[in-house]
Amino acid sequence: MPSPDRPESGLPLALYSASKAAAAMLTVQYAKAHPGIRFNALEPGTTATDMTAAFGIGRSPRESAEVVVRLTTLGPDGPTGTLRDENGVLPW
């Protein structure tokens, strides 16, 4: 959200943004509490959904699902407690 080069950064979605931040923090807490399980928050990219249709933005759900599949198939030595997109770790 803070990066002006991302399309969602200019959208007036305060509650949605706050819920995303809370989910990211839960990811960190779960990763600490359960070190044997991989917990990572995912930013799948702006996806064309009913919510984004009014703004005319978003890529296909299939494209966004690719990063979801990649992250959910990580091995036991994969990262945990991170916020990621298709390019890797995102800064908090």
Domain boundaries, the chain: 12-89
Share of the chain above pLDDT 70, in %: 92
43 Cβ partners below 8 Å, 6+ apart?
Answer: 83, 84, 85, 90
89 — phi, psi (to 5°)? -75, 135
pLDDT digits (tens, 9 = 90+) for 37-81: 999 998 877 788 887 777 777 888 888 888 889 888 988 899 999
Q: Is the pLDDT at 1 greater than 60, yes or no?
A: no
Cβ-contact 71, 92 below 8 angstroms = no
pTM above 0.75, yes or no: no
The predicted pLDDT at position 39 comes to 94
Residue 30 pLDDT exceeds 70: yes
Looking at residue 32, its pLDDT comes to: 96
